[in-house]
Structure 1
Amino acid sequence: MAIYNLGSVNIDHFYTLPHFPTPGETLHAVDHSFGLGGKGTNQSVAVAKAGADVFHVGAIGINDKWVRERMESYGVNTTYVSGMDAPTGQAIINIDAAGENTIVLLAGANVKQDADVILNAIDNAQQGDTLLLQNETNLQDHAARFALVKKMRVIYSAAPFDVDAVAKVISDVSILVMNSIEAAQLTSALGVTLDNLPVPQLIVTLGSKGAMWRSNETGEVLEVSVPKVTPVDTTAAGDTFIGYVAAGLDKGMSIKDAMEWASRAAALKVTRKGSADAIPYAQDVEAFSS
């Protein structure tokens, strides 16, 4: 089994701040660093560090060879990562004293995906493989439609939230993943409740309160908690969770076991500064849980 991820690739710039700036305020950063990120890359790295096979489908600037090499160093297969005459995506991540963050994105090469590359990647997938999607690239709806033809599991993160993007892809999604704010935005925009969303399964992440899964086919609901930790940086926590859930399901875990494993991984992640580079390996999660 394998996981294919049509996802963004970003170069993340982290600025540690005493507090988030108010309009018109000039604020001195306490620290700066940069590394590998993007919702897509974070999820692919999480899958790889969890021990599952993952093929990233994406695009980077032709001069950012180090980005591809860093992804590969974590076990991500970059066969379907294209070099583009466009900048690699950029993210400016401000982190306050409580570990919360605000993010400004430049899409760059992420929204210049090549349909032929995507279709070629999915065409090489097998029945039962998984396709991960988020809202930081183009062509998600095309990828999801083809993945269902291949009888793949499609896990879609409705983030950054865009109701039009969700509407285009939701009919071809196996598991819809949102945080509580995105869930409220989507149900309000569509005028429905969670149990009326046209998707077989959904997961709502609840931050420090854990996560909820619901089957809209059977009405079954389950909740998982998250270990109590002192957060240092919440960047990529949700992506860590989703990557570990996808890896767990790929390994044959039940949805409950996969979500509990993923919750521990996400909790460990927020105790570390950074995004993709700071996502824990499976052995770290096991040690953290014991």
Structure 2
Amino acid sequence: MKVLNMGSLNLDYVYTVDHILKGGETLASKKMEVFCGGKGLNQSIAMAKAGVPVFHAGLIGEEGEPLLAVCQENGVDTGYIQKIEGKSGHTIIQVDKEAQNCILLYGGSNRSFTKEYIDRVLEDFGEGDLLILQNEINLLDYVVDRAYDKNMVIILNPSPMDEALEAVDMGKISIFLMNEIEGAQIAGTENPEDVLAVMKEKFPQARVVLTLGRDGCIYQDSEKLCRQSAYEVKAVDTTAAGDTFTGYFIAGLLKGMEIEKILDMCARASAIAVSRKGAAASIPMMEEVIRASQK
């Protein structure tokens, strides 16, 4: 069984601010830092740090060499990553004194996928292989359709939520990994229990993980529902918390762990990530998570 992540690679420009800006407001930032990120890159690095051999497929622009380098440094297979003309994807991230963030995303090279490139990558994967997707690349519906035709296990983090997801046949998704905002937008209701009820009605065969920030997370499949509390830490930057959760969840699945143990591991890994600055750089190694569980 192989694991392919077809997703974004971004340069993150992170600004430390007193509070998140409102419309028309001007505010001086206290600090500006540059990190490698993108939901695709973060999730690939999280999987690699959790011990998962992962192939990443994606596109970088003219200034994207640091993105390629950080993947390689963290053990991600970069053989499918291609460099193209133009700018890489990037984000402008505000992080306030409560460690909450808001993110402005520019797609850049992440929005330059072609059907030919997608087909070429998927030629090397087949039935039972895992495909991890987010919504920071173009042609997401085409990727899902082709992967489904190949009987791959499709895992979707539907973020960011926009009209592109309307073209995706969600009935082809095996596992949904989403936060409370994404869940509410897909289900049309904010109450977590109602979100899960709608997801079960619409996609009865899919497994769903709904993360709830400080309130932990809920897992649901056709037979089981279980909850996991969040571990309390002093949060510094929540940027990669969800991506860390995703990487460790997939690692747990591949290890054949019980779902309750997987969720506990994910909660511990995410707690470590939010206690550090940055995206990819904040994601812990499996050894750190194991040590945390032994305290």
TM-score per shorter chain, which class? over 0.9
Q: Deviations over 1:162-205 (max 9, x none)?
A: 2551551312110112211221121128x982321225211111
- What SS does the aligned partner of 2:186 have? helix
> 1:204 and 1:133 mapped to 2: Cα distance?
16
Q: Answer yes or no: is 1:196 the counterpart of 2:196.
A: no
How far did 1:120 drift? 2.6
Q: How does 1:39-58 map to 2 (within 5 A)?
A: 39-58=39-58
C-alpha change, 1:24 and 1:47, in structure 2 (3 Å) is same
Name the structure 1 match of 2:67: 67
How far did 1:276 drift? 0.8
Contact 2:17 2:94 in 1 (8 A): yes
Q: Answer yes or no: is 1:21 the counterpart of 2:21.
A: yes
> 1:143 and 1:154 mapped to 2: Cα distance?
10
Q: Which amino acid aligns with 1:32?
A: M
Q: Answer yes or no: is 1:262 the counterpart of 2:266.
A: yes
> 1:86 and 1:262 mapped to 2: Cα distance?
36
Q: How does 1:134-149 map to 2 (within 5 A)?
A: 134-149=134-149
2:235 equivalent among 227, 231, 250: 231
> 2:101 and 2:277 mapped to 1: Cα distance?
11
> 1:118 and 1:13 mapped to 2: Cα distance?
28
Percent identical among aligned pairs is 37
C-alpha change, 1:256 and 1:162, in structure 2 (3 Å) is farther
How far did 1:122 drift? 2.4
- What SS does the aligned partner of 1:77 have? coil
C-alpha change, 1:101 and 1:63, in structure 2 (3 Å) is closer
Q: Give unpaired runs (5+ residues) of structure 2.
A: 190-194
Contact 1:158 1:166 in 2 (8 A): no
Q: Deviations over 1:191-237 (max 9, x none)?
A: 9823212252111111111111111x33x211112211111100010
- What SS does the aligned partner of 2:141 have? helix
> 2:78 and 2:185 mapped to 1: Cα distance?
34
Count of residues in Structure 1 that have an aligned counterpart in Structure 2? 287
Q: Which amino acid aligns with 1:239?
A: D
- What SS does the aligned partner of 1:193 have? helix
- What SS does the aligned partner of 2:79 have? strand
How far did 1:69 drift? 1.1
Q: How does 1:76-155 map to 2 (within 5 A)?
A: 76-155=76-155
Q: Give unpaired runs (5+ residues) of structure 1.
A: none
Name the structure 1 match of 2:257: 253
Q: Which amino acid aligns with 1:141?
A: D
Name the structure 1 match of 2:277: 273
Q: Which amino acid aligns with 1:171?
A: G
TM-score between both structures, scaled by the size of structure 2: 0.91
Name the structure 1 match of 2:192: none
1:210 equivalent among 202, 211, 216: 216
Contact 1:157 1:176 in 2 (8 A): yes
- What SS does the aligned partner of 2:246 have? helix
Name the structure 2 match of 1:11: 11
- What SS does the aligned partner of 1:136 have? coil
How far did 1:126 drift? 4.4
C-alpha change, 1:248 and 1:116, in structure 2 (3 Å) is farther
> 1:275 and 1:254 mapped to 2: Cα distance?
28
> 2:174 and 2:101 mapped to 1: Cα distance?
30
Name the structure 2 match of 1:242: 246
The RMSD of aligned alpha carbons is 1.8
Contact 2:36 2:66 in 1 (8 A): no
How far did 1:63 drift? 3.8
Contact 2:141 2:169 in 1 (8 A): yes
Name the structure 2 match of 1:168: 168
C-alpha change, 1:8 and 1:52, in structure 2 (3 Å) is same
Residues 33-42 or 254-263, more deviating: 254-263
> 2:209 and 2:166 mapped to 1: Cα distance?
15
C-alpha change, 1:55 and 1:288, in structure 2 (3 Å) is same
Contact 2:9 2:60 in 1 (8 A): yes
How far did 1:117 drift? 2.6
